[in-house]
Amino acid sequence: MALFTPRGLKVCLPVDYSFALMQRLYPTVDAFVVLQTTEGFDLLPFTLGFMDAILCFLGHLGPVLTALVVAVAHVIGHCICINSLTAGAFFVRVSTIFSVVSGYGIYFVVLGVVGFISVGWQGLAAYAVGRLLAGLVNGIINHFNEKRMQKEAGAVFAMSELNFFNAYLFYARRQKKSTDLAVTDAELEESNWQPVFQDLATKWPKIVARFTPDS
C-alpha cells in the first residue's frame, strides 16, 4: 500500500512496516502527527529559503548575496533531509505549520510584497536565481545519493519516503526510542501496529481512505 499524509503527499512504504515504526512512538505521538511532520520535512528546504529570503529583503542585501543565501539555505535543508540529520525543533515546527497552509500561494504573495517593497524587482529576481541554483546543486546531490542508497540499502527511496523516516527519527530521538529503521517480525504482526492504524482511521478516516494497495 501507499500511505498519504493529511495534505496528500504520497509515501510508498508498506502499511505494516510504517505503522510498526509509528507504534514505537504511540500514544505520545500518534500517526497523524508523524504524517503531518513528514510534510514539514518535505517543505523544510523551502522554509529555510523563505525565511532567509525575507531576512535578506529586510536587510537590503544585494542581489548576488541574496541569491547565494537562498541557494545555500535550500541546499542545507535538502542535505538535512536526504541524510536524516538532526534538525532544530523550531525549524521543523515552523515548516510543519507552513505545510498546513501551503498550496494557496500565500508564501509567494508575502515574498513578492516584502521583496518588492524592500529591494524592488532585483530582489525577487535574486530569489528566483537562488532557487534555480539550489535546484541544480540538489539535482547533483540526488544523483550521488541515489547511487549511495542503491549500494547500501539495495533500493532507492523518494524524498517522501526519506521524509517519513525523518519524521519518525525526529520524535524517536526526542523520546529516546530506537532509531533503528529495521523492524522485527514481532513488530510487523498486525496485532502490534493495528491500534495505531485504528486510531488514525477513527480520528481521520479521510486520510486512511486515500491509502492504496500495491499494484
- Strands 10-11 and 3-4, how do they pair? antiparallel
Does the model's pTM come out above 0.85?
Answer: yes
Q: How far apart are CA 197 and CA 142, in angstroms?
A: 32
State which residues form the domain around 153.
29-178
Q: What is the mean pLDDT of residues 90-117?
A: 87
**pLDDT value for 28:** 95
What are φ and ψ of residue 2, in 5° steps?
Answer: -115, 135
| Cα 52 from chain centre | 18
Instruction: Report if residue 190 sits inside a domain.
Output: no
Looking at the domain assignment, is residue 62 inside a domain? Answer: yes
Flag whether pLDDT at 37 surpasses 90.
Answer: yes
Instruction: Give the total number of structural domains in the chain.
Output: 1
Are 88 and 80 contacting, i.e. CB atoms less than 8 angstroms apart?
A: no
Q: Using CB atoms within 10 A of its CB, is residue 7 exposed (0-12), middle (13-18) or buried (19+)?
A: middle
**Domain contains 202:** no
Residue 215's pLDDT band (cuts 50, 70, 90): very low
Q: Does residue 89 fall inside a structural domain?
A: yes
Q: What is the mean pLDDT of residues 176-197?
A: 94
The answer to the question of residue 193 being in a domain is: no
